[in-house]
Amino acid sequence: MNYCIFKLEFLTPVHFGASDSARSLESAGMTFCADTVFSALCHKALRAGGMDELIDTAKRGGLLLSDAMPFSREDFYIPKPALPATKHADSDPSLRKRMKKLRYLPLSLLPGFIDSLRGGAAFDPAPVRTGFGESFANEKVSIAREADPATGGAKDAEPFSVGAFRFEDGCGLYFIAAFTSREIMESVARLIRLLESEGIGGKISAGFGKFRLAEKILLDGSEPEPLKPLEAMLRENAASHYILLTSALPREDELAPAMENAQYTLIRRAGFVQSDCISNPVKKRTQYFFAAGSVFGQTFEGGLCDVGIDMPHPVYRYAKPIFLGVNV
């Protein structure tokens, strides 16, 4: 596989529903999962007449995506991995408490984190950036289109809140894509550029989620020195542990082997169908995926799940993983 990093710098606030909340409108997550970007790419490909090709490419494993993860001017971050400790060294209880609160680790500090699990020096979370921006509530007012049946007059306007997130200067999101050919990579890059002005995530019709593709970094040996360990881990196929970078789901025949010695958390995936074939929003089937940061003793392939309910065509949710191989 060939690997590429896509760095997105956001020009407006974003609305990504928090994965642990069913109240997606009021919640404000900082990142989005791979199924979100895959769905957005499919909509752009549909307008360009290439959606079937994109779906077929993903089905056969020619395109893999990670979840979106934060970056700063200083580093790229990955979800804090649920790696087990092979040796338990004495450490300050306050350090352990701060470690539990971390959601992301910078790539530059991952070797030290892994070494601490082998019984090396205790990992100090103090240098780890924990904020990449701020969450806030964007107040809106809904205007009723129908008359109030009790009075016959217009319904009162009702205020509501939309959770949003604004990135600090120099911070944004990146995701990793894997391709079996350069042509697939260039096709995906074109679709991402088409998405820039429309936006990604929720409430894009209200101006949320607009971004620019700040950089496209091929991991082919010519990448900057700090990213070379990332490429090595992506290509590692004989590791003791594999860190999941994509909220993903094994196929039914892969589930039992994947669960052996796994350390994982689950994430809820839901949402609504966007289709020209329907006039009103229809819910997708809710699923629970392994969350990015989960750790497995072996890899799995996953697939594309049809999550449409009584739809005239398939509605796919992306569930194929990218892993980092590490030895602990």
Query: What pLDDT was estimated at residue 120?
Result: 85
Q: Which of 265, 268, 318, 319 is nearest to 294 (CA)?
A: 265
Q: What is the mean pLDDT of residues 313-322?
A: 89
Query: What pLDDT was estimated at residue 156?
Result: 54
The domain segmentation of the chain, as residue ranges, is 2-146+156-326
**Beta-bridge partners for 273:** 282
Query: What pLDDT was estimated at residue 146?
Result: 56
Distance (Å, whole) CA 297 – CA 327: 10
DSSP structural state of residue 115: H
Q: What percentage of the chain carries pLDDT values higher than 90?
A: 61
Give the tens place of pLDDT for each residue, 168-187: 999 999 999 999 999 999 99
Query: What pLDDT was estimated at residue 158?
Result: 62
Query: What pLDDT was estimated at residue 216?
Result: 96
Distance (Å, whole) CA 276 – CA 143: 25
Backbone angles phi, psi at 260, to 5 degrees: -65, 120
With 70 as the cut, is the pLDDT of residue 312 above it?
Answer: no
Give the tens place of pLDDT for each residue, 49-91: 888 999 999 999 999 999 999 999 999 999 999 988 776 666 6
Give the tens place of pLDDT for each residue, 94-105: 777 788 888 999
Q: What is the mean pLDDT of residues 16-35?
A: 72
Query: What pLDDT was estimated at residue 271?
Result: 77
Give the tens place of pLDDT for each residue, 208-255: 999 999 999 999 999 999 999 999 999 999 999 999 999 999 999 999
Range with the lowest mean pLDDT among 135-149, 178-192, 242-256, 262-276?
135-149
Q: What is the mean pLDDT of residues 12-41?
A: 79
Cα-trace Rg, the chain = 21
With 80 as the cut, is the pLDDT of residue 19 above it?
Answer: no
pTM summary value: 0.88
Distance (Å, whole) CA 105 – CA 129: 8
With 70 as the cut, is the pLDDT of residue 139 above it?
Answer: no
For residue 203, the one-letter residue type is K
Q: Are 242 and 277 in contact (CB under 8 A)?
A: no
Q: Are 223 and 231 in contact (CB under 8 A)?
A: yes
Confidence of residue 277 (pLDDT cuts 50, 70, 90): low
Q: What is the mean pLDDT of residues 23-36?
A: 79
- b (16+ CB within 10 A) / e for 139-154: eeeeeeeeeeeeeeee
With 80 as the cut, is the pLDDT of residue 275 above it?
Answer: no
With 60 as the cut, is the pLDDT of residue 200 above it?
Answer: yes
Distance (Å, whole) CA 145 – CA 155: 8
Query: What pLDDT was estimated at residue 163?
Result: 84
Query: What pLDDT was estimated at residue 278?
Result: 61
Distance (Å, whole) CA 166 – CA 130: 15
Residue found under tokens 């090709």 = 53
Query: What pLDDT was estimated at residue 105?
Result: 96
Query: What pLDDT was estimated at residue 126?
Result: 87
Report the chain's mean pLDDT, rounded to a whole number.
87
Q: What is the mean pLDDT of residues 288-292?
A: 96
With 60 as the cut, is the pLDDT of residue 327 above it?
Answer: yes
Distance (Å, whole) CA 104 – CA 82: 11
Query: What pLDDT was estimated at residue 279?
Result: 61
DSSP structural state of residue 284: P
